[in-house]
Amino acid sequence: LVKMLSAILLGLIIVLFFVWYNFFSNVARMKRLTANMPKPKEYPIIGAALEFGSTSDTILQAYFRLSKLGPAVQAWIGPELYVVLTDIKDIEMILQSNTVLRKAHIYDLLQPWLGNGVLSSAGDVWRKQRRILTPAFHFRPILEEFCVVFNHNIETLIQKLKEQVGKPGFNVSPFISLCSLDIVAESSMGTKVNAQKESENKFVTAIGHLAFITLYRALRPWLIPEFLFKLSPSGRLYYQQLKVVHDYVGEVVRKRVEERKAGIKVVNDLPGESVYSNKRKALFLDTLLNYNENGVGLSDEEIKNEVNTIMFAGYDTSSSSVSFVLYALMKYPDVQEKVYKELADMFKSKDIVATYEDYQNMRYLECVIKETMRAYTIVPYVGRKMEEDILLPSGYTVPAGASTSLFLYGLHMNEERFPDPTKFDPERFNDEQSTGRSPFAFCPFSAGPRNCIGQKFAMLEVKAMISEIVRNFKILPAINCPEPVIGSELVLVSRTGIYLRLENR
């Protein structure tokens, strides 16, 4: 027995030695390849972790500081190497690559919620998902039906905002978030969660908990290991709320599958019609189920993952975009007046409901939205995991095993691409000034093969919300309310909210 235990112990020691040797030899290799790359101050074990602080605003400030050190900057966080990129040629190379497609490991924190959905998958799985999902967000008849969903949910938003008229100020962000949740839930699942009317709804509160705890975990390295996270109070709450969300989405999918089997024809299933040909209500879930029934689609589990992914990706990004556009319109009244004039020329009455075609014709509003997305980049950075050494155009090498963090916010504040970048100027995006600009100089929805699949949907939603709010209200500065403290959570946010004041038009 003693001999057997000794042999087992010796075997474990040998295994641990090789694990230790491989780890440290890989770290040494990465350090050797990045020896000429600038870096912030580092400390033993934790590396540059203190540089980033522990709140959303200090993290964003750290990225701007790092971007001043050079086009590529290394930052070790414990045993993980991150390379922050701000040079357009470097970013273009990574985003355009058909081989650098794996998302950074930070996206692994979303896996329990989203599964292996299109946001976090890679390789052939991702290519199949992308091929199936793309038409659902680019085919005009479906986008037209999404506009119908936008309009009746925004009508509820307008009624809620009317209750705020006359107040010295209020935080508009929660109103926008709940409306955005109503829109993305109905668009993706075909079900009304009534977030604006029932903000204490279990599903609504669960979505909020999951988003918050994911960020909370990302900022605390000791919670990254799954077994430690599950033992923590935040981990236990996370998995309780996750069950609420997964049960709800699973039930919606199950009921819709049963309806279709029973012959209840709602979407895209009349004889002779293709998946995307019907101009009646065409929702995201039905699009996936149509593909599934044709034998070339996704399993029920994969469908649930994609619905959860669209819910996650479409909720925070759109609501944050709308909140910051409202902030910009409040801050720059001359810009707000131009937007209102464009809308007043299009609609002779506030009772006229905007159509898909109307949204396409809101040219100046689109410039304002794009300038807001430049000045307040909603997704400040995107990450990629390197599976091979990459020599960048700037001359630096990013080694295999490292994660690149493409600092899009820093890219958008580049003086060469956008002169006087702190000035808010929507005319940067008129046809004349946009001509000849690299598509990688401005990429709020990322770019290349892994760009945002729902960017047309998102732009339509933002136009729909902003246009209705401006048609109904003057947006004015709040009185004696907090100023925004801008930081980066899962998306760009103001930690103190977005306070403004409304007057009826």
- Model pLDDT for residues 54-66, shown as the tens digit of each residue: 788 888 999 999 9
**pLDDT the model gives residue 346:** 95
For residue 274, the model assigns a pLDDT of: 38
Token code pair at residue 481? 């309310």
Half-sphere exposure of 176 toward its Cβ, with a 13 Å CA cutoff? 30
Q: Residue 402 — left, alpha, or beta (φ > 0 → left; ψ -120 to 50 → alpha)?
A: beta
Nearest in space to 283 (alpha carbons), one of 145, 105, 425: 145
Phi, psi dihedral angles at 406 (to 5 degrees): -85, 110
Site of tokens 């209102």: 340
3-state secondary structure of 385: strand
Rounded-to-integer distance, Cα 189 and Cα 130, Å: 19
Whether the pLDDT of residue 24 is over 80: the answer is no
pLDDT band at residue 70 using 50, 70 and 90 as cut-offs: very high
DSSP 8-state secondary structure symbol assigned to residue 353 = P
pLDDT interval class at 441 (50, 70, 90): very high
- CA–CA gap between residue 369 and residue 374 (Å, rounded): 9
pLDDT digits (tens, 9 = 90+) for 273-332: 433 333 334 468 887 887 765 556 678 888 899 889 888 888 888 999 999 999 999 999
Looking at the whole model, is its pTM more than 0.75?
yes
Phi, psi of 500 (to 5 degrees): -155, 180
Was 452 annotated as part of a binding site? yes
Quote the DSSP letter at residue 428: G
Report which of 337, 384, 321 is spatially closest to residue 93, judged by C-alpha positions.
384
Note the pLDDT of residue 199.
79
Give the Cα separation of 488 and 470 in Å (integer): 27
Residue type, 77: I
Q: Per-residue pLDDT for 438 more than 70?
A: yes
pLDDT band at 429 (very low <50, low <70, confident <90, very high): very high
On the question of pLDDT at 47 being above 50, the answer is yes
Query: Cβ(193)–Cβ(203) under 8 Å?
Result: yes
- Burial class (CB within 10 angstroms; exposed 0-12, middle 13-18, buried 19+) of 480: exposed
Lowest mean pLDDT among 227-241, 294-308, 389-403, 430-444: 294-308
Say which range, 87-96, 190-199, 315-324, 354-363, has the weakest mean pLDDT. 190-199
Classify residue 444 by its DSSP letter. Answer: B
Q: Are the C-beta atoms of 87 and 72 separated by less than 8 Å?
A: yes
For residue 347 the two structure tokens come to: 């609609």
pLDDT tier for residue 267 given thresholds of 50, 70 and 90: very low
Residue with tokens 């109103």: 175
Report yes or no: 401 and 389 within 8 Å, Cβ to Cβ.
Answer: no
What pLDDT sits at residue 255?
A: 85
Percent of the chain with pLDDT over 70: 93
Check residue 271 and give its pLDDT.
37
- What are the backbone dihedrals phi and psi of residue 103, each rounded to the nearest 5 degrees, phi first? -70, 155
- Determine the average pLDDT of the residues in 351-375: 96
Distances in whole angstroms, Cα of residue 234 to Cα of each of 162, 199, 229, 241: 37, 22, 7, 11
CB-count burial class (<10 Å; 0-12, 13-18, 19+) for 351: exposed
Residue 74 has pLDDT above 70, yes or no: yes
3-state secondary structure (DSSP) of residue 384? strand
Give mean pLDDT, residues 115-139: 82
Alpha carbon dihedral 331, 182, 309, 106, in 10-degree steps, equals 40
| pLDDT above 50: residue 16 | yes
Residues 6+ apart with CB under 8 A from 133: 118, 288, 306, 453
Q: What CA–CA distances, in Å, run from 430 to 277, 331, 419, 421? A: 33, 21, 15, 16
Give the H/E segment covering residue 164. none
Residue 35 has pLDDT above 90, yes or no: yes
Q: Tell me what pLDDT residue 183 has.
A: 94
CA distances from 344 to 280, 337, 362, 391, 467 (A): 30, 10, 11, 52, 10
Euclidean distance between CA atoms 297 and 302, whole angstroms: 9
Provide the mean pLDDT of the chain.
87
Please report how many Cα atoms fall inside a 13 Å half-sphere around the Cα of residue 143, on the Cβ side.
Answer: 21
Cα 476–chain centre separation: 28
What is the pLDDT, as a whole number, of residue 106?
A: 75
Smallest CA-to-CA distance from 403 within 415, 421, 393, 390 is with 390
Q: Which fold has domain 34-504?
A: Cytochrome p450 (1.10.630)
Strands 403-407 and 80-85: parallel
Using an 8 Å Cβ cutoff, are 403 and 84 in contact?
A: no
Sign of CA dihedral 32, 33, 38, 39: negative
Report which of residues 453 and 219 the model is more confident about.
Answer: 453
> What is the arithmetic mean of pLDDT over 243-266?
82
Q: Which of 302-306, 371-375, 376-380, 425-429 has the lowest mean pLDDT?
A: 302-306
- Separation of alpha carbons 181 and 232, rounded Å: 28
pLDDT value of residue 489:
79
AA identity, residue 278: N
- Residues near 122 by Cβ (< 8 Å), separated by ≥ 6? 101, 102, 103
**Residue 187: pLDDT over 60:** yes
Confidence of residue 265 (pLDDT cuts 50, 70, 90): low
